Chain A
Amino acid sequence: MAATRRHWLAAVGVMPIIGALAARAQTPSIAGGIQPRMSGRERIRLHHLPNVELIAHTGQRVHFYDDLVKDKKVIINFMYAKCEGICVPVTANLVRVQKLLGDRVGTDIFMYSITLKPADDSAESLREYAEEHHVGPGWLFLTGSPPDIEQLRRALGFTYADPAEDADTSNHIGMLRYGVEPLTRWAACPGMANPEHIVRSILWDLG
C-alpha cells in the first residue's frame, strides 16, 4: 500500500497548505494568457444578483444587489398580488415563517417577495397586499420595470426550460431561495412546505 500511497501523493502534487490559499489569489500563469481569477462571490454577483432598480411596497427605491442582498442574509420568493394559485398559501406560510423567526427579520434576516407581474403590481397595490396579509417589518414586496424583473427572475434561476411552461405565470416556481451573500451560501426549499421545516432549513444555513 505504501507504494500506492506514494504514487498518489506524487500524482496530486504535495504542496504545503499554509500559504497556498494566498497563492491562489491569482491563477498561476503557467503558460501565459490566463485571465485573472474571479472570486466565487464576484461570479455569483455578476451572473445571479443583478443590481436592478426596484420599488418596494413601502415606496423606497432600491437596488437589488447593493441595497437588498449585499452582505445580508436573505429569503427571496416570487409572487403577484392577484395570484389565485399558490401565492396565497406561500404568503400565509411566509407570514408564519416571519413570526417564527421573530425579531431577526429586519435586523439580520431580510425577506423579499418579488412580483412576477410588474405591469399590474404597483408599489401601492403591493402595499395593500402586504397589509392584507399582516406582513411585519423586514419583509419587502418589490416591483420594477418588466425587463428588470425578467432579468432578475432568470438570474435567480426561477425559470422553466420549456418556454410554454415558463410563460405560464400561474405555474411559477414556488420555491424560496435563501442565502448568506458574503459566504456565497445559497439554498432553496419549497414555499409551501411546513413552516417549521422551512425555518429549520433556513436557520441551518443562515445560522
Chain B
Amino acid sequence: MYPLKFRPAPLVEVARKNRQEIVRTGVTRRELIKLGLLSTSGYLIPMRGVSAQTGCAAGACQLGCSPPTIPFVDPLPIPPVLPERPLSDPGFRIPPNAQPSGQPQDARNQPHQFRDRFPPQKFFISRMRPNPNFRFSENAANLARIPPQLIWGFNLGGAAAGDIAITPGPTIVSRYGTPIVVRRFNELAPDDTGFGVPESSTHLHNFHSGPDSDGGPCDPVFNRIVRIGQFYDYFYTMARAGFDTPEFRATNGDIRETLATLWYHGHRVDHTAENNYKGLAGFHIIFNEFDTGNENTGFRLPSFPQFDVPLFVADKLFTPEGEICFDPFGFDGLVGDKYTVNGRLQPFFEVQKRRYRFRILDGGPSRFYEFFLTNPDNPSQSIPFWQIANDGNLLPRPIEITSTRISVAERMDVIIDFKKIWDRFGHPSRLWLENRLEQVNGRAPTDRILPPGNRANVVLEFRLVGPDNVPDPSFDPEPVSFPRVPCSPNDCVFAPICLPPLPADNAANPADQIRVTRSFRFERGNGQWQINGQLMDCTRFRFTVQRNTAERWILRNNSGGWQHPIHIHLEEFRIIRRNGRLIQCGNVEFSRKDVVRLGFNEEIEIVMRFRDFRGGYPMHCHNTVHEDHQMMLLWQVQDIGDNNPEP
C-alpha cells in the first residue's frame, strides 16, 4: 500500500552489527561512550553503519565524528570594521526615520524611543547573506576534509553580489556621544544544509537599548522577526544607562555604566542556536573619551585594531564528510569537537613582544571554557596574564590570573604581555590559548580541569616574532594589579569609569534603594524548562518592573546536572552573592555583568537597575539550545511596577 524507501533492520540487529564494526576499528567501548556514540546500555545512538571516521555513520553530527584537521596552519582573520554610509546610499532609499515607514520591506512596527533626544549621526548597513564558499581553513589538507561550504554572515553593507557575507560579521565600532542607526537587511535564502531558519532579529548583546532596537526574541507588541527581503533599523542612543533619570539626565547617563566589548547576534526566537552557529554574529566595540582605542591617550589601552584584537571563540561539529552540521533534535545542547576563532579552525596569530588587548567572546552555542596560557615546550609553567574587563565592563582593578572561566555569551578583555613572558619564561617562541575545561555534552562542563599541553584543546597559537625590544607605550597593568596590590571595594584604577554605588535596602539616595526582591527557580520538569514552575509565553509579560528603580533578584538552579549562563536584557547587574558567599574585590565577578553562570545547584543574588526605557525584555539561558527550548521569560518596565516576589 505504501512504497517503502528503506526499511531499517530491527534496532537490536543494527546495534549488533554496529558494535561488530566498531570492534573491528579497534575503538574501546569506554572511548565510544565518551564520544557519545554508545549508550551505557550498549546501544549505539541509531545509525545505519560505521564509516571511515572511527565509528561514525555517514552524515553523523556527533562529538568525535568531525574529520581530523591540522591546527595552527591558518593566520587568525581579523574581521573588518563596518564602514559608515551616507544617507544617499541606495540602501537608505526608504529613510531610516524614527517612525517605521509602513512599507512591506520594513519589518519594524514601533518607533524608536528617545530618537528626538539623540538624533543619529552615523548610519550603517549590513546585509545578512549566505556565503556559499566559506573556508574554515585555507590549508590544502584541511580543505580536503572540510571543503569550502555554505555559512551565513553579515556583509559590509553593499548591495553588490561581490560584497560577500563573512562570519563573524564586520566589527561595528561606535563611540559614546555619537548615536547610530544600523539597518540590517535579511538577504538570506533557504538551503539544504539541514539547519538555520532564514529569519532574524539581531540583538546588540549588553547594550542599553529600547525594546524597539533590542533585537530580542518574541514580544506581545513588537514585531521582531525580519523575513527574507525585509530590513530592520536598529537605533542605538550611544548614551550610558541612567540618561533619563534626574541624577544623570544632564550628563546623558552615568559614566560608570560605560560599556566596551559587546557583540551582535541573531535572536530569532526558537532558532537562535542554529542561526548563530551558522554565522549570524559579530563584535560591536564601543570606545569613549578614556578607553579611546589609542594607546597614547586616555587609559592607554593597546591600540585598536593592531594590538586590540577581538577573538570570537566557537566550537563546531562537522559530519564525517566535512560539512558543518547542527542537530535540531537535541535538547541537551551542542558541543563541538573543532574550535574556531574568528571563523578559522585553530588559527595562529603572530604577535610582537609587547602588550596586546584581546577581547575574548564565548560564541556558544553550549560550551564553557577555562582559558590558560600554555608554553607547549614547557607545559608545566604557570603563565600569568591580566583580566581587565568582564562582559562589557572594565574591572575596578586589573586582576592577575593564570586562568579564567567563561560561559556562553560572556566576554572578557585580557592583556597579555608577550615581552614579559618572553623574558620570564625562557624565550618561548609560541604560546597556546588553551581551554582546559572538560565538557562532553551540552548540559554542563564536568568542572574537571584537563592536563596542560594538549593541542586538541588549543583554540589559538600565539607566535612570538620580531625584535626583543619594541616600543610599547600602552598601559602596564602589572604594577596596579591584584594580588600584587591589595584590592578594596572602592578601587577605581580606570577612573572615572568606576563601579556605580550598589543598590541597597536602606540606601540614603532613593534612586539606590531596592524596591522589591524577586526569586527565580530554574527547573526542568518532564523535559520542559520552567522558571518558578511556569513555561515560556510569548503572549504576555510575567511581571512589571517600575521604571528607574532597582531590584534584587535571586536566581536558583534547581535543574540537577545542568549549568546555565543566565542573561538579562536592558541593563547590567552586579553579582552580590554566589551560594551565600559575598563576591568581593579581587574576584573577576566583582564587576558589572550581563551574563551570570549558574552552576550546579547554585544560588546567585544580583541587584539591577531598570532605567530609561519602557517596554518588554527577556531573561533567558544563553546556552542557546536551552534558550531555543524556551528556557526564558518575558518581563516589562513601566511607570508603575508590581511587587510579585516569585513571578
Q: A47-B59, A172-B526 known; 18 other A-B pairs, CB under 8 Å?
A: A1-B83, A5-B156, A12-B134, A16-B162, A17-B164, A21-B132, A21-B150, A40-B191, A41-B194, A44-B194, A47-B60, A51-B4, A51-B6, A51-B7, A65-B5, A67-B2, A174-B526, A190-B528
Contact B537 A193 (CB under 8 A): yes
A86 to chain B, nearest CB (A): 5
Interface centre among A8, A43, A65, A171 (most CB of B within 10 A): A43
Interface stretch of the complex, out of B45-53, B235-243, B482-490: B45-53
Chain A residues with Cβ under 8 A from B161's Cβ? 16-18
Q: Which residue of A lies closest to B58 (CB)?
A: A38
Q: Summarize A's interface: helix, strand, loop or mixed.
A: mixed
B442 to chain A, nearest CB (A): 9
Beyond A5-B156, A162-B561, A204-B270, is A39–B194 a contact (Cβ under 8 Å)? Answer: yes
- B245-271 interface mask toward A, CB cutoff 8 Å, 1 = contact, 0 = none? 000000000000000000000000111
**Interface residue? B148 (CB, 8 A):** yes
Cβ contact of B323, chosen from A37, A44, A66, cutoff 8 A: A37
Contact A189 B147 (CB under 8 A): no
Complex CA gap A7/B192 in Å reads 30
Contact B535 A66 (CB under 8 A): no
Q: Which residues of B, 335-378, contact A by the 8 Å Cβ criterion?
A: 343
Q: Which residue of A lies closest to B78 (CB)?
A: A4
**Interface residue? B104 (CB, 8 A):** no
**Interface residue? A63 (CB, 8 A):** yes
**Interface residue? B12 (CB, 8 A):** yes
Contact B164 A9 (CB under 8 A): yes
Contact B149 A8 (CB under 8 A): no
A99 to chain B, nearest CB (A): 16
Chain B residues with Cβ under 8 A from A172's Cβ? 526-527
Contact B535 A40 (CB under 8 A): no
**Interface residue? A177 (CB, 8 A):** yes
Interface stretch of the complex, out of B291-299, B325-333, B382-390, B610-618: B325-333
Contact A51 B527 (CB under 8 A): no
- Residues on A facing B (Cβ under 8 Å): 1, 4-5, 7-9, 11-18, 20-21, 23-24, 27-28, 30-44, 46-48, 50-52, 61-63, 65-67, 85-86, 147-148, 150-151, 154-158, 160-163, 171-175, 177, 179, 183-194, 196-197, 200-201, 204-205
Chain A residues with Cβ under 8 A from B5's Cβ? 51, 65-66
Contact B77 A12 (CB under 8 A): yes
Chain A residues with Cβ under 8 A from B129's Cβ? 17
Beyond A21-B132, A38-B319, A184-B194, is A158–B2 a contact (Cβ under 8 Å)? Answer: no
Chain A residues with Cβ under 8 A from B529's Cβ? 190
Interface centre among A41, A187, A192 (most CB of B within 10 A): A187
Contact A28 B46 (CB under 8 A): no
Contact B539 A161 (CB under 8 A): no
- B463-491 interface mask toward A, CB cutoff 8 Å, 1 = contact, 0 = none? 00000000000000000000000000000
**Interface residue? B57 (CB, 8 A):** yes
Interface stretch of the complex, out of B136-144, B178-186, B591-599: B136-144
Complex CA gap A128/B498 in Å reads 67
Chain A residues with Cβ under 8 A from B6's Cβ? 51
Q: Summarize B's interface: helix, strand, loop or mixed.
A: loop
Complex CA gap A185/B195 in Å reads 7
B320 to chain A, nearest CB (A): 8
Beyond A40-B195, A185-B197, is A196–B41 a contact (Cβ under 8 Å)? Answer: no
B82 to chain A, nearest CB (A): 10
- B519-545 interface mask toward A, CB cutoff 8 Å, 1 = contact, 0 = none? 000000111111000011111100000
Contact B319 A186 (CB under 8 A): no
Contact B166 A8 (CB under 8 A): yes
Complex CA gap A8/B141 in Å reads 21
Complex CA gap A86/B58 in Å reads 37
Complex CA gap A183/B199 in Å reads 13
Chain A residues with Cβ under 8 A from B321's Cβ? 27, 34-38
Contact A4 B80 (CB under 8 A): yes
Chain A residues with Cβ under 8 A from B329's Cβ? 44, 48, 155-157, 177, 186
Chain B residues with Cβ under 8 A from A46's Cβ? 48, 57-59
Beyond A30-B140, A37-B321, A175-B528, is A4–B81 a contact (Cβ under 8 Å)? Answer: yes
Contact B132 A173 (CB under 8 A): no
Cβ contact of B47, chosen from A24, A47, A173, cutoff 8 A: A47
